A and B are shown apart, each in its own frame.
Chain A
Amino acid sequence: MARAGGGMGSAVNVGIAVQADWENREFISNISLNVRRLFDFLLRFEATTKSKLASLNEKLDSLERKLEVLEVQVSSATTNPSVFN
C-alpha cells in the first residue's frame, strides 16, 4: 500500500515535472519565435535602409556632378568675359 502510494506520488511528481518541462519548452519556443521575427524585421530593415541610403547616395552623387559641371561652365564663362560685353 505504501509502495503503491509511493508509486503514485512518484508518478504525480513525474507528471508535474513533465508539465513543467512542456511549459518551459513552450516558453522557449515562444521566445525563439519572437527572436526570429525580430531577426526577420532586422533583415528587412537592413535591406530597406540599404536601398534608401543607396538612392540617397545616388542623388547626392548626381548633385555633386551637376555642381562640378556648373562650376566648370561658370569658370569658363568668367575666364572669357568678353563674350558678355
Chain B
Amino acid sequence: MEVGACEAGRQQGPPSSGAPTSPAAPFGRSSSRLAAAGGATQSFDGALRELKDLQFQLHRAADCCEEAFLTTEKKKLVLDSTKSYICDAVVAVIDHLGTVSSKLEHQLQEKTDITQTEQKINFLKQRLLTCERYAISLELLAVRGDTGGVQYHRRYLSRSTERTKEENSSNGGPEPFKIISTIVPGAPRTLKPYDVESTIGRGCTMAGANVESATAVRSSFSFRAEDLQISPDDHKKKKKASHAGSNILSFIKRSRRA
C-alpha cells in the first residue's frame, strides 16, 4: 500500500516539467536534446528549466520515500524501490546536465556574430585610415605650397644668401619661387594627392635648370598645357618655322601654276 503511494509519489511532479514520467522510468530523458525545432537559446533555456524542475521533483520524491519507509512494514521492498529510484534519478540528472552543458558549449562556440562584427569594425577602421591618409596628403600639399612659411635658422644660412635676399628685398624684384595657380581665388579647389608629386617633382627639376629667369621659373611650376608659357626666343623660332613652312607652300603653289 505504502509502496503504491510511493510509486504515486514518484509520478508526482511539477506540471511545468516537460519530461514525461512513468513508474518504470521516473525521470524521462531530457526532451531538449530531442527537440530539433527552436533556436539554440530556447533549447538551452528549456534544458536549464528542466534541470531546475528536476530538483523540486527529486526533493518531493525523497520526502515521499522517507515517509513510506517509516510508515510501512515491508521496509525491504521500499528500500529496493528507493535504490532503483536513486539509480534512475542519478542517470536522469547526468543526462540533464550533459544536455545543458552541450547546449552551453554549442552556444559559446557559435562566435560567428562576433567574428563578423570584428571584420566590419576592421573594415571601417581601414576606410577611416584611408580618409586620414587622404587628409594628411592634402595638408602636406598645403604646407608644401606655402613657400613663405619655410624659414631657415640663421645658423644654416650663409652670408651670400642673406645678401642676395636683402638685395632682392631692396630691389623689390619678383620672388624667385612662386606657384602659379590657374584657379580663380576664392573658388573651391579640389586637390588630388597625385598632383602634389607631379607638381613638386617637375618644379624641382626644372627650377634647378633655369633659375635665372623668372618666367622660366614660373613655367617650371606649371605642369598643365594651358599654363605653359613660351619664351620669346622659342616664339621667334616657331615663327621662323612657320615662315619656312609658308615659303614651301608658296613654292609648291608657284610650281603648280608653272
Contact = CB atoms under 8 A, between A and B. Distances in A.
B108 A53 contact: yes
A49 B104 contact: yes
Contact of A83 (B83, B104, B124, B135): B135
Contacts of B125: 66, 70
Given A66-B125, A74-B128, A27 B83 contact: yes
B101 A63 contact: no
Given A35-B90, A66-B121, A85-B190, A73 B128 contact: yes
Interface string A26-60: 01000100110010011001000100110010011
Nearest to B136: A83
B216 interface: no
A84 B128 CA distance: 12
A51 B135 CA distance: 43
Interface string B51-94: 00000000000000000000000000001000100110010011
B117 interface: yes
Contacts of A42: 97
Contacts of A35: 90
Q: How large is the interface on A (under 10, 10 to 19, 20 to 34, 35 or more residues)?
A: 20 to 34
Nearest to B101: A45
B190 A77 contact: no
Contacts of B138: 83
A52 B109 CA distance: 9
A14 interface: no
Interface of B is mostly: helix
A11 interface: no
Nearest to A45: B101
Given A27-B83, A56-B108, A77 B121 contact: no
A67 interface: yes
B251 interface: no
Interface in B102-146: 104, 108, 111, 114, 117-118, 121, 124-125, 128, 131, 134-135, 138
25 contacts: A24-B79, A31-B90, A34-B90, A35-B90, A38-B93, A38-B94, A41-B97, A49-B104, A49-B108, A52-B108, A53-B108, A56-B108, A56-B111, A56-B114, A59-B118, A60-B114, A63-B118, A66-B121, A66-B125, A67-B121, A70-B121, A70-B125, A83-B135, A84-B131, A84-B135
